A and B are shown apart, each in its own frame.
Chain A
Amino acid sequence: MEPRILSHLRALEAESIHILREVVAEFANPVMLYSVGKDSSVMLRLAQKAFFPAKIPFPVLHVDTGYKFKEMYEFRDNLAKELGLNLIVHTNQEALDAGTNPFKLGTQKCCALLKTRALLDALTAGGYDAAFGGARRDEEKSRAKERIYSFRDKFGQWDPKNQRPELWNVYNAKIEKGETIRVFPISNWTELDVWSYIELEKIPIVPLYFAKEREMLVRGNGISPIEHNYPIQIGEKPEMVKVRMRSLGCTYCTGAIRSDAETFPQLMDELVHFKRSERENRIIDHDTEGAMEIKKREGYF
């Protein structure tokens, strides 16, 4: 007889499904944040499994900064159709109309308006009492102390000094009106776990994660995608480089990495040998030391 022990991926899967069900059972109006990225793709698959044979019983919210990759928009709309998702897209149109972009305002302000503000507005507008996010504790140091159920006050803010203790798999879902809980079902997954699971489960993902010749702007070590009228300075010339994206954010703030990984085995191989953590290519985390913690306090995921 096979020993009755789950592989680490199946154990993580079981834990995440338990969290998803617990939230749906205890909250009146949950929503899942969907960023179109690989972590969101894993969350969606986990939700499909948790509620099979029913459809995913909550809406899926994409906070769209307007600066995402074209391939991300296409992918999102196709997937929503295929899975019959109740997809809600929210954009801080006012800020966009006012010309908000990272070149003008800097990344911190740009994120505050197009991501954090937009997210808080969307959550308020929908009256959601719980919001699933795909954040993982291995991403960044301030995330390592994040709870699975992360309490946010009426202003959507996080108080790292005053978190509820979280024991076993017994989660405290009690909140007052206006307060919310951010729930992180894949808290305990690492980047490698996410990729291994995507491969194991054959989960569709945005092709940007795989290497391809793409038109890029190379500045020293930084490789930037050219979309949404990326400001090119005099003397600079876009060039075709074989790159892939390690994590997907806005085109302006997502750096590409040189890579030959066109297939899963190549990608996994690259990850195992490639020892740079994934958010490194995300400009926003590097503004100041402890940048992510400050963003999180203000309401960012």
Chain B
Amino acid sequence: MSVESQLLRFTTAGSVDDGKSTLIGRLLYEAKGVYEDQLASIQSSSVNRSTGPIDFSLLTDGLRAEREQGITIDVAYRYAATPRRKFIIADTPGHEQYTRNMATGASTADLAIVLIDARKGVLVQSRRHAFITSLLGIRYVAVAVNKMDLVDFREDVFNKIQTEFMAYAKSVGLKNVAFFPISALEGDNITEPSARTPWYKGPSLLDHLESVDLVEARNFTDLRFPVQYVNRPTLDFRGFTGQLASGILRPGQTVMTLPSGRITKVKSLPSYDGDLAEAYPPMSVTVCLEDEVDVSRGDMIVDPNHVPHVSRRFAAKLVWMHETPGEAERDYLLKHTSQTVRAQISRIRHRIDINTLAEQPANKLELNEIASIQVETRRPLFFDPYQQNRITGAFILIDPVTNSTVAAGMIEESTAESLEPLKLGSLEFTGETEATVTPAERYARAGHYPATVWLTARQDLAVLLERKLFDLGCQVHILADDRESHLLPELARVLNNAGLIAICSIASPDPAEAERAARLARDNRFLLVDPQALPVHDEEASEVIMKQLEDRNVLRRKERFEVGEGI
């Protein structure tokens, strides 16, 4: 292996009987990933499930309990190397109840090997593997049609499987799918073309693993640099450290910091090995900025021309990974890049049957179920759809009581797209998405995010609140109703679009209008003030509301993103 070889991470999906462990054992053996003493240890092992002299599957089945049960029950990582590439193999179990493990192994993989038993053809589980592969955004799929020796290496068997699998792969959006007629047990088409499949003209499986394009798969355009840790060894050095999720960083480059929306330039990229001229993913680097910008862990440095979505509410696909079912409106901690926030599943839209892809209604999520959900977080996240960016689009949910990791999430659409269209009388606002002035830019100028405060029967308080916010430097406007409140939600949304805080002062309770306003509010920065819970005294009441606006991150506060704050 040369120092300049590249790293390919791949995962394997297949069931116990597909010969998956045997295939990995074979790859390890052929690519010199198995040392002789490990080989000796499995040769002397009391268990041999195979009929041959060496049970390759024992190389990959790690734990005692698993060996006793004869099944792989957890993700195991294996390593192999050829002169061209180093491989990290996530060996994941293919049993139905282990979707969790498959998703885990797939999350870091560039490529997935899906094993199909040539005798059995495309089964329900093959479809399942294809779906999870697509869900986790794996770029390349290698379908290993195994046990070809047991079907006399027949071309028609192979072709039938290829046709069937491709039809399904297309329906779940998989691209770059390649097929290999192999025998893991006997070594056909694993490292070199087999004489027993003269009709097959493609590369061997290992050839393919050594040659898939890893550069093309990277995103070098949209700068996303989640800040992990602020390095401040001395008063005059402030370095923002992190691993580049996408895009390029260069000294002199104009960048924007989120959530502040401040525009500044990269001063330098200092490193142990000297200043860098350029950084690209997945490098871990330190960034110094030209201006004194307030940036802390959880913030993100981005390209001002291609900003991510900034929102507290988004749609996502979720893989539930815990025995305790997932429920809507329960509190979870959500970790996304380097920030952890309180979050709720605001709605389970539907569960997805991984065998049929059918959408089913669901009240809760059981272990290994996959669902489409709505999430609401306490602070805004800076994200991209997962299919565009596997780092800024991914999150995990943590149970705040048991601290268990309970779910993995893939963010789908931006909130803006799921907003209701805005109609004001005969006017329809449709051009919002074409605007070049972005919410982040408005934030940068205003110093706060837009919001709607819905206040009932407290006209004096509304006036006081407007004054206090205005004196703080906020752009704010009262919308008071005169018996007719049915236009307030739309008007508030227009003010929000312009970056303003709208205070809707309502004479008497109107839950239906409040609900409509909540739906229309951009980024859901909607504050429905509960008159019962508010102090009678206006001064005190205004402080409570200001605090709530701070909690929702509408107003800029110092050191908001300190570790543990607000969690």
Using CB atoms and an 8 Å cutoff, list the residues of chain A in contact with chain B: 3-15, 17-18, 21-22, 24-26, 48-55, 137-138, 141-145, 160-161, 163-170, 172, 174-176, 187-188, 190, 192-193, 196, 200, 272, 275-277, 280, 289-290, 293
Whether B394 sits at the interface, judged by CB under 8 Å, is yes
Whether B544 sits at the interface, judged by CB under 8 Å, is no
Cβ distance B45 to chain A, nearest Cβ, rounded Å: 7
Cβ distance A266 to chain B, nearest Cβ, rounded Å: 17
Q: Which residues of A are found within 8 Å of B4, using beta-carbon distances?
A: 7
Contact code string B406-433 (vs A, CB < 8 Å = 1, else 0): 0010000000000000000000000000
Check B218–A4 contact: CB distance below 8 A. Answer: yes
Given A165-B408, A275-B36: A52 touches B286 (CB 8 Å cut-off):
yes
Check A165–B104 contact: CB distance below 8 A. Answer: yes
| B322: nearest chain-A partner, CB-CB | A165
Bound complex: CA of A49 vs CA of B218, how far in Å? Answer: 24
Q: Which residues of A are found within 8 Å of B77, using beta-carbon distances?
A: 137, 144-145, 187-188
Cβ distance B128 to chain A, nearest Cβ, rounded Å: 18
Whether B396 sits at the interface, judged by CB under 8 Å, is yes
Given A48-B272, A187-B77: A167 touches B103 (CB 8 Å cut-off):
yes
Check A170–B63 contact: CB distance below 8 A. Answer: no
> Which residues of chain B (25-51) have a CB below 8 Å from chain A?
32, 35-38, 41, 45-46
Check B86–A193 contact: CB distance below 8 A. Answer: yes
Cβ distance B154 to chain A, nearest Cβ, rounded Å: 36
Between-chain CB contacts (< 8 Å), 30 pairs: A3-B215, A5-B215, A9-B3, A14-B283, A14-B284, A21-B229, A24-B229, A25-B228, A25-B297, A25-B338, A52-B286, A53-B237, A54-B233, A137-B77, A144-B60, A144-B77, A145-B77, A160-B74, A165-B101, A168-B394, A170-B336, A170-B395, A172-B335, A172-B396, A172-B403, A175-B403, A188-B79, A192-B1, A192-B81, A275-B36
Q: Which residues of B are found within 8 Å of A200, using beta-carbon distances?
A: 3
Whether B119 sits at the interface, judged by CB under 8 Å, is no
Whether B537 sits at the interface, judged by CB under 8 Å, is no
Given A7-B3, A49-B272, A289-B45: A160 touches B63 (CB 8 Å cut-off):
yes
Bound complex: CA of A165 vs CA of B103, how far in Å? Answer: 9
Bound complex: CA of A52 vs CA of B239, how far in Å? Answer: 9
Bound complex: CA of A12 vs CA of B77, how far in Å? Answer: 14
Given A172-B396, A276-B36, A293-B63: A12 touches B7 (CB 8 Å cut-off):
yes
Check A54–B398 contact: CB distance below 8 A. Answer: no
Q: Which residues of B are found within 8 Å of A145, using beta-carbon distances?
A: 62-63, 74-77
Check A190–B81 contact: CB distance below 8 A. Answer: yes
| B321: nearest chain-A partner, CB-CB | A165
Q: Which of B214, B228, B282, B400 contacts A21 (CB 8 A)?
A: B228
Given A49-B271, A280-B37: A4 touches B280 (CB 8 Å cut-off):
yes
Check B335–A21 contact: CB distance below 8 A. Answer: no
Check A277–B233 contact: CB distance below 8 A. Answer: no
Given A8-B86, A170-B396: A25 touches B81 (CB 8 Å cut-off):
no
